[in-house]
Amino acid sequence: MKRISLSLLLTCLGLALIVYLGYHNLFSQAEPPYDDDQEGLSGQIVFKFSHVVAENTPKGQAAAKFAELVAQKSKGQIQIVVFPNGSLYSDIEEINALKDGQVQIIAPSTSKLGDLSPKWGVLDLPFAFENYEAMQSGIHGDIGQALLDSLQEDELIGLAHWSNGFKQITTNKGPIKEPADIAGQKLRIMPSEIIREQFHLLGAATVEESFNSTYNLIETGQVDGEENTISNIYSRKFYNVQKHLTISNHGYLGYAVMMDQKAWNQQTESTQQILLEAMEETTDWNDQNASKINEEQLELIKQKSDIQIYELTAAEKQQWAEKMAPLYEQFRETIGAALLEDLDKLQESYEEKP
């Protein structure tokens, strides 16, 4: 009996040795040859960046640029993984996803931030900015900074403003030339009190739904139209389900890039520095790129569709601005006198000289 147990034990030990040697050999062969590009990869930091528009839009391209710059500056140690098209979270869900730590960076349209602070409404005021230059002075100056700072009250860090551009109007009931032309229509809008009031003032009804449901709302006739930038109209192919496009440039559409305070505080100083530097470079780059994309995509809409395009004349724009002017007084208290004074000064300095 003892002899059997001893030989069994020796067989088991032998087998264990063979398995160990085989295993060890297999893994030492699988190990890749040394490559200094891979140095430190094991400690890689990954940030998820979620947004709701397509990759060929100002926000889509800025997010990709930011990811590229962060990878470059951190030598591959920090990776920004971008999830476009609302593939992770819709615009209605993304702030909660950020707060819950499901994603680390988002860039919602500033019109969707009214629940955080009504001050954001200043950027929704009709004809707030005379042109691109005025818009950039506004969002990168005192007005923009005060808004980013206000995010701290919600334990969020405002990293930058990325502009998209000016909003235009698309509809199936047109053409829209005068403010009266929009009365009686139903439009999909972003969830913003000022945008809602703007259209109610013009006699239109509004539906506040997510960006990704807009095409379907138009296609199924639940709304007549919507307002958006050319790049959003182009990338979502609204031109296929809309008959009229009015180039009105009546309002701003742009994004506040943000992180959750807790997630930010967990980063080392050097990671924070890399994120800030990459963000600054991306923001400068986006200022040029966004207007270029909107211009190019207007040409593409003309080539690819039969949508009727009408551009408001200066006199017609003036008529729209006058019609919507009461909103400035109506929202004075909500937005706060300080921000409105800053906007007033900005508007004076960019007023078109006759």
Alpha-carbon Rg for the chain, nearest whole angstrom, is: 27
Task: Name the residue nearer to ligand LMR (CB basis): 217 or 279.
Answer: 217
Residue number, 51 or 119, with CB nearest to ligand LMR: 51
Q: How far is the CB of 69 from ligand LMR (least distance, A)?
A: 21
Q: Which is nearer to ligand LMR, 57 or 74 (CB)?
A: 57
Residues counted in the chain = 354
Least distance (Å) from ligand LMR to the CB of residue 205? 17
For the CB of residue 88, give the shortest distance to ligand LMR in the complex, in Å: 14
Distances in Å between the Cα of 271 and the Cα atoms of 151, 158, 266 are 21, 16, 10
Closer to ligand LMR by CB, 47 or 238: give it.
238
Task: Please identify, using beta-carbon distances, which residue of 58 and 336 lies nearer to ligand LMR.
Answer: 58
Distance, CA of 347 to CA of 321 (rounded, Å): 13
Least distance in Å: CB of 52 to ligand LMR?
5
- Smallest distance from ligand LMR to CB 70, Å: 21
Q: Is the distance from CB of 44 to CB of 12 less than 8 angstroms?
A: no
Provide the H-helix boundaries in the chain: 2-30, 58-73, 94-99, 132-140, 142-150, 193-201, 214-219, 230-235, 261-265, 269-304, 314-324, 326-330, 332-335, 337-350
Residue 128 near residue 252, CB atoms below 8 Å? yes
Residues making contact with ligand LMR (CB under 6 A): 52-53, 59, 91, 109, 164, 190, 211, 228, 232
